[in-house]
Amino acid sequence: MSKRAYNFNAGPAAIPLAVLERAQQEFVDFQGSGMSIMEMSHRGAIYEGVHNETEQLLKKLLNVPAGYKVLFLQGGASTQFAMIPMNLLREGQVASYVMTGSWADKAIKEAKLIGETHIAASSEADKFMRIPALDEIEIPAHAAYLHVTSNETIEGTQFASYPDTGNVPLIGDMSSDILCRPVDVSKFGMIYAGAQKNLGPSGVTVVIAREELIAESPKTIPTMLRYDTHFKNNSLYNTPPSFSIYMVNQTLKWLEEQGGLAAVERNNREKANLIYNTIDNSGGFYIGCAQESSRSIMNLTFRLQSEELEKKFIKESEAVGFVGLKGHRSVGGLRASAYNAVPQETCQALATFMADFQQKNG
């Protein structure tokens, strides 16, 4: 390998090089077993040790309080969009959502198939280029839960803080920003995240939930879609995505080595500022999409003066090793996804390229 790509893919996304190298070393013979971890039984002691250690590592990094359980599920966040109302929305209640963009919209559409929904706040009038203020959020008294999408990858917006929901469980889809900063887990009834952005490879979805929320599910739900199935079986009811969970294990250890989430957040903000400062100091050559107070430190979205210039930017950036800078097909533009594993040098290289591109085309 002569050179690593400047990887700004939105997901599946960059994985720390150190994690990839460790996995490479252990790939054929894990812990002297004569097998890859992908080959061994999920009922065996070696795999179960990795499985349980991964839960403990995640709880330690996020400072998860007592009374919460970590589940390792499959089907991505998209399956959680349906599982949440199927398990938690009971007769006489309403599922309440903050409408912040593309992924919140997908979650709401799934909930509507299950029962009554309610929009607690929305930034649609601002084309989802901001996160609603906390005082805009109105939660019905009979709400089963309030759901927020903590970071919208397509629009490039992120909650700076979370609402206090009292006795109504707060549920957070943190697929694209989990572990990018410290979070007060005690404010949430449930947090869930697809792994393929900040946790490791695709294939496993992490759920962190208060035990009382998932201990008993309605008996009418198919077995694999019941939280209590996985809670009572330590996520080992069926064969888990063992290699993906192993990679999450290695990624969590790498995050510990970086100094924990406070250090990770500092690094992420420094990386994001390299690019946002380039946008803001470009005299309008680059145009940031999200309102400044709602800007994501994970997905940085921006535009140029014309689509033709954006196409040229993509073509020239790809020629020198940049990957994933094209905006989502639904909105166009440009997007740099600077997840935890994206090195600061990669963000610096992008800032330099952007300055050079402006000089040549401004």
Mean pLDDT of 15-27: 97
pLDDT tens by residue, 219-269? 999 999 999 999 999 999 999 999 999 999 999 999 999 999 999 999 999
Q: Is residue 7 part of a domain?
A: no
pLDDT at position 3 = 86
Q: What is the DSSP string of 116-184?
A: -EEEEEE-GGGTT-SPPPGGG----TTEEEEEEESEETTTTEE-SS----TTSPEEEE-TTTTTSS---
**pLDDT, tens digit (0-9, with 9 covering 90-100), for 284-317:** 999 999 999 999 999 999 999 999 999 999 999 9
In the numeric block, the tokens 């009572």 are attached to: 232
Q: Which residue out of 59, 69, 173, 177 is catalytically annotated?
A: 173
DSSP secondary-structure letter at 326? B
Closest CA to 325 of 356, 294, 295, 304: 304
> Looking at the structure, do residues 230 and 267 belong to the same domain, yes or no?
no
Considering the candidates 59, 103, 254, 326, report the single residue annotated as catalytic: 103
Whether 103 sits among the annotated catalytic residues: the reply is yes
Distance CA 284, CA 287 (A): 6
* 148 strand-pairing partners: 172
SS3 195: coil
Closest CA to 164 of 181, 177, 148, 175: 148
Instruction: Kindly report the pTM of this predicted structure.
Output: 0.97
208 near 185, Cβ under 8 Å?
yes
Note whether residue 9 is domain-resident. Answer: no
Q: Write out 56-92 in H/E/C secondary structure.
A: HHHHHHHCCCCCEEEEEECCHHHHHHHHHHHHHCCCC
Same domain, 22 and 154: yes
336 Ramachandran zone, left/alpha/beta (phi>0; psi -120 to 50): beta
Which domain range does residue 39 map to? 18-257
pLDDT band at 12 (very low <50, low <70, confident <90, very high): very high
Q: What is the pLDDT of residues 320-345, one digit of tens each?
A: 999 999 999 999 999 999 999 999 99
| CA–CA dist 161, 182 (Å, integer) | 11
pLDDT(1) > 80: no
Q: What's residue 80's pLDDT?
A: 98
Asked if residue 331 and residue 318 are part of one domain, the reply reads yes
* CATH number of the domain where residue 264 is located: 3.90.1150.10
- Note whether 239 and 287 are same-domain residues: no
Catalytic annotation on 360?
no
Omega before 169 within 30 of 0, i.e. cis: no
* pLDDT (0 to 100) of residue 277: 98
Q: Has 197 been annotated as catalytic?
A: yes
* Selected catalytic residue, list 59, 69, 197, 326: 197
Find the CATH number of the domain harbouring 112. 3.40.640.10
Stretch 96-105: mean pLDDT, rounded? Answer: 98
Instruction: State yes or no: pLDDT of 126 exceeds 80.
Output: yes
